[in-house]
Chain A
Amino acid sequence: MLYDTASGDTHQLTPMASRVLDFLRSSPRSHEEIASWVLSSDMTVVDDASLTKVDTILANLVALGLIEPIQL
């Protein structure tokens, strides 16, 4: 569960989305770094389908206002 103090919204995150957010807490990361870290920690085989899954999570987190894309 996550409470966004900026919006007052409460979110119920999947375990993978939660890991993505945790990973981004310390510093901005590239798309490849996120995919590689999340998928390796999830013991998931890194294939096109799982990469698409990470893309979807990132897009959803952006839509919720929890992360934003920046130029690294």
Chain B
Amino acid sequence: MNVSSLTARDLARALRRDGVYIRIGTHTVHIQSPFRAIANNLHLLYADYPLELNAAFADFHVSVKPPENFRRWLAPQAIFRFDSYVPFKPLPADQAYPLLEWGLNWCFSTQFHRYLVIHAAVLEKNGRALLMPAPPGSGKSTLCAALATRGWRLLSDELTLVAPETMEIIPMCRPVSLKNESIQIIQNFEATVAMGPSAFDTSKGTVGHMRPPTDSVLRSQEMATPAWIVFPKYEAGSIAQLADLPKATTFMKLADNSFNYSMLGLRGFEAVAKLVNRCDCHEFKYSNLDEAIAVFNKLSEE
């Protein structure tokens, strides 16, 4: 059964009661929430994902619910819980869906220490994976969304999971989080993309989520082999251009972008070293998405 097997109304009912188990790649998340906006967003954005109503196991049990106090009615709020732990302050109820996505990011980035977890988008073509680590504001998610609409398989727009033993990239394909003007840029770039409703005035500005391509969701148990590490940077007016980056510099930048490099100790060091050694390493400036995609397509054909 997929999420789309249920009507939005039935999904909302299941979320409100015992919750639903959604399979995201090789992992399962149990979600409970009475917020209708969460049901509607999940119904649209996770339509292709396997769903169970009673699963024996979930990697994470999460919920987004109103507080028990007066804030349930007055200036309503939403609280994210991982088991019974509350990692964030409550947010306005109209940010309930972004809160769920941010909460899931938090779960994967703080709990999955069997993997090297890197703050990076990752896509695949011809069996080879492109890692794009970058800080917020670099245009990483916009570029990732554009590549995902042009034949690159989306593994994640936010978190790259690397298995230290095999150096395989574990897909964690979820909706692509877009911010502010990037939402309209991607809608203009590819008119067929499905976007969830935007949440306004969040800590990141306006936030909207793009539904991942069906093919990427269906292939989300298929690992990928890392081939390129590229640090993208949007610069207005620039021509799309790759520049080689020294391996040692790449190592330090990658370690900086890892959530658990220090926690993994020697295992983390060896994983980053192997990753850098087997990948071509570049910096990339761009201002035009079509030009950028042409550069990456050429790279994938070499």
* A residues at B contact (CB < 8 Å): 1, 3, 5, 8, 10, 12
Contact = CB atoms under 8 A, between A and B. Distances in A.
A5 B266 CA distance: 7
B255 A10 contact: yes
Contacts of A3: 266, 269-270
Interface residues on B, range: 10 to 19
Contacts of B252: 10, 12
A5 B264 CA distance: 11
A41 B248 CA distance: 22
Contacts of B269: 1, 3, 10
Interface string B246-260: 001001100100000
Chain A interface SS verdict (over half):
loop
17 contacts: A1-B248, A1-B251, A1-B269, A1-B273, A3-B266, A3-B269, A3-B270, A5-B265, A5-B266, A8-B262, A8-B265, A10-B252, A10-B255, A10-B269, A12-B248, A12-B251, A12-B252
A5 B262 CA distance: 11
Interface string B231-254: 000000000000000001001100
Nearest to A9: B262
Interface string B13-53: 00000000000000000000000000000000000000000
Contacts of A5: 265-266
A35 B204 CA distance: 54
Contacts of A10: 252, 255, 269
